[in-house]
Amino acid sequence: MKRIGIIILATAAIVSSCSLLEKKSPSKLEKAIEKEITESLDGHQKCSVIELEKLDSTIFITEFDRRIKVFETRIEQNKKFHDDYYRRGLKKNAAIKYDEIYRDYEILDTLRTIKERMGDSLYMVAYYDYRVRAEVKTGGIIRRIIRRKSQILDDLYFAITPDNEILSMSTDPRTLHYATGFVIPGYSEIIKSESDSTEVIQDE
């Protein structure tokens, strides 16, 4: 009987342990994701992460090269607009494009300088890409990003730094990296913009 009692107690301990594992508290990463989703909810709904998958990682040098490419492309694009405006006699529009070109050249120079100064840190992970499935506990609509009523949010994509800072959230993995330039030290001051994206913008 004593042996049976020990077995029962051991079994109870295992069951209790499994229950605790099932109800484990969310990690710091999950909390950061849940906070980001909750802040985007229309209302005061809360959510919980039910599936989290790491998809990829990006090192700093890759992000620098990507941003440099973006500004190089914008400069070439704006040169064409500038020349077109100038030929059509739209001097004010041409002047605006000239100023944008000059500003982007300054940004390029600054980015290249910072890139050189980072040294070996260029090869450290800047951020990870995640796919997330989350449950909205009271339902709701996520404004701007998600336009549907559903308690289960499938395929949300996040770019997150190793210290759990959310850089970007999107339902489309193709647009996830539009705002990841902000992982570069001092990037917001460099671009002097309130926009969360520095991608190439189509002009008229």
Q: Residues 137-147: what's their mean pLDDT?
A: 53
Phi then psi for 44, rounded to 5 degrees? -120, 30
The contacts of residue 98 (CB under 8 Å, 6+ apart) are 82
Would you say residue 194 has pLDDT above 80?
no
Would you say residue 202 has pLDDT above 90?
no
End-to-end CA distance of the chain: 86
Q: Output the pLDDT for position 1.
A: 45
Q: Output the pLDDT for position 39.
A: 86
Q: Quick check: 187 and 107 in contact, CB under 8 A?
A: no
Per-residue confidence band for 203, with pLDDT thresholds at 50, 70 and 90: very low
Residue extents of the structural domains in the chain: 27-191
Q: Residues 24-35: what's their mean pLDDT?
A: 87
Task: Indicate the range of 43-47, 183-187, 195-199 predicted with least confidence.
Answer: 195-199
Per-residue confidence band for 153, with pLDDT thresholds at 50, 70 and 90: confident
Q: What does the DSSP 8-state code read for residue 143?
A: T
Distances in Å between the alpha carbon of 121 and those of 56, 70, 114, 159, 160?
19, 22, 11, 19, 18
Q: What does the DSSP 8-state code read for residue 145?
A: T
Q: Output the pLDDT for position 198.
A: 55
For 30-89, the pLDDT digits (tens) are 999 999 988 887 656 778 899 999 999 999 999 999 999 999 999 999 999 999 999 999
pTM: 0.74
What proportion of the chain, given as a percentage, has pLDDT over 70?
75
- Which residue shows structure tokens 């295992």? 14
CA geometry: angle 88, 71, 185, nearest 5 deg: 145
What is the 3 state secondary structure string of 78-99?
HHHHHHHHHHCCCHHHHHHHHH
Q: Output the pLDDT for position 14.
A: 33
For 81-116, the pLDDT digits (tens) are 999 999 999 999 999 999 999 999 999 999 999 999
